[in-house]
Amino acid sequence: MDNTNRSRTRTLRRTTILLVVAAAGILNLRFTLTARAQETASSGGAKTVWSITAKDIGERLDILASDSLEGRRTGEPGASKAARYIASEFHRLQLSPIDSAHVFMQPFDFSEHAMDTTKHGFTHGMNIVGYIRGEDPQLADQTVIIGAHYDHLGMGGPFALDKVHAIHYGADDNASGTSGLLEIAEHLSKERYTLKRSVLFIAFSGEEEGLFGSAYFTEHPLVPLKNVQAMVNMDMIGRMNDSNTLIVQGMGTSPSWKDLITSLPESKPLHLKYFQTGTGPSDHAKFYAKDVPVLFLFTGFHDDYHKATDTRDKINVVGEAKVAQFAESVVLNLANRPDKIAFTRPAGDTEQKAASFGVYVGGVPDYGYDGDGLRIDEIRDNSPAKAAGLQKGDIVIKFDEMAIKNIYDYTNALAKHHPGDKVIMKVMRAGVAVDVPVVLGKRSSEH
């Protein structure tokens, strides 16, 4: 889970990095139908009798929260190992890649400088995305998304609460959700012929630094977001208490949630605590901001949160298996019910809760540009940049009286202003300096 105050740079960028090529090499992209999948097919789609077990969850946690993965900090070798593990599991389970490069990896870059001034340049993040195409020709273009972030804090750093330089294992945050995601993928892959809608599994990274993976995905979705039935997010599901309490947020994001959940046998062993909000400090908030119904599953905060002591031995694997079974039953209902559930925004649930302040312009920086100034790569629709007439390719060289040499100058300039301020941006456009008055907007999540 992410505890940043979100005073960060917007750093979405389409990019292709070498890891895609590496991934394509690692993963054999030819899929064969195994005997096991044929078995499922010939069983006529009958529901399998086995369910997700504590033992299987535990085995995945042993890997994800191991020393070898070094706390899975985005951009570092431990996170790459985790990414390869998840992608290889998606491959083994015969999930399909969905992007045009036919790999399970969705790379993205972001800057951590706004949160950690010792960090320069860009951090490479990697979402791992696997797909099961639905069987019903009428419904297969609709997709249920289930996600969990796999990154954590590495050796500590600005988001750690203990300031200890040691492996921050993130067993609960969020090896727990990731192991649940993989177990659900494994189970549903064997029931694939029973699925009417498609299911997309996403392991996000860049979450701890500020939801960068889910921000990137929702800006570059691999399926049309308007066809997404709902997004279910699991973040910190490993510390269920003796009362079997599970916190369920997002209830207000669809009128269907309450009936759906209470109809499920898998909800019966759980003591569910409902919250209406669709915002919150985890990846579902980015989907909610795009009008997708969301459900956020969470077993609660604890003293080891964002500390090196969030370790494997403290995970309640029996409880986590119950959460995963419940999450899976939600996904199955979403995949197979006749209707597409409606989106609602609960009263008073503004996106500003998720991103409480910040100035918004809506010109996406070109991070590949290394000349003087800040080159704008893209202008967002309905943004202050658009309203002001800024154009793709403009190079910002001055922000009022402040000279802009690079993205950090630009970020600093934004930080010194407030929503509603009117500023003059001096830009170079086709070699000519142009003064553009811009009324700064307010950042409300990622628009």
Residues forming the site for Zn ion (CB under 5 A): 1, 173, 208
Beta strands in 241-389 (DSSP E): 245-249, 271-275, 294-298, 359-360, 363-365, 374-379
Contact 245, 312 (CB under 8 A): no
Residue 183 or 208: which CB sits closer to Zn ion? 208
Min. distance of Cβ 1 from Zn ion in angstroms? 4
Residue 1 or 330: which CB sits closer to Zn ion? 1
Tokens of 177: 């959700």
Residue 112 or 208: which CB sits closer to Zn ion? 208
Residue 173 or 183: which CB sits closer to Zn ion? 173
Min. distance of Cβ 236 from Zn ion in angstroms? 7
Q: How far is CA 415 from CA 112, 153, 207, 358, 440, in A?
A: 15, 25, 22, 7, 11
From CA 147, how far away is CA 294, in angstroms rounded?
11
Check residue 176 and report its DSSP letter: I
Check residue 171 and report its DSSP letter: I
From CA 370, how far away is CA 413, in angstroms rounded?
19
Min. distance of Cβ 153 from Zn ion in angstroms? 7
- Residue whose structure tokens are 């706390």: 71
From CA 251, how far away is CA 255, in angstroms rounded?
8
Q: Closest Cα to residue 280, out of 250, 257, 307, 236?
A: 250
Min. distance of Cβ 3 from Zn ion in angstroms? 6
Residue 173 or 191: which CB sits closer to Zn ion? 173
From CA 329, how far away is CA 263, in angstroms rounded?
10
By beta-carbon distance, which residue lies closest to Zn ion? 1
Residue 131 or 305: which CB sits closer to Zn ion? 305
Q: b or e along 363-379 (b: 16 or more beta carbons within 10 Å of the residue's beta carbon)?
A: bbbbbebeeebbbbbbb
Min. distance of Cβ 151 from Zn ion in angstroms? 9
The DSSP string of 33-90 is: --HHHHHHHHTTTPPPS----HHHHHHHHHHHTSGGGGGGBTTSHHHHHHHHHHHHHH
Residue 112 or 173: which CB sits closer to Zn ion? 173
Min. distance of Cβ 117 from Zn ion in angstroms? 21
Min. distance of Cβ 250 from Zn ion in angstroms? 18
Count CA within 13 A, CB hemisphere, residue 197: 23
Min. distance of Cβ 233 from Zn ion in angstroms? 13
Q: Closest Cα to residue 144, out of 341, 358, 373, 437?
A: 341
Residue 191 or 208: which CB sits closer to Zn ion? 208
Min. distance of Cβ 208 from Zn ion in angstroms? 5
Residue 201 or 305: which CB sits closer to Zn ion? 305
Q: Which residues, 6+ apart, have CB-to-CB distance to 100 below 8 Å? A: none
**Residue 274 three-state SS:** strand
Min. distance of Cβ 86 from Zn ion in angstroms? 18
Q: Which residues, 6+ apart, have CB-to-CB distance to 90 below 8 Å? A: 104, 128, 130, 185, 201
Min. distance of Cβ 141 from Zn ion in angstroms? 34
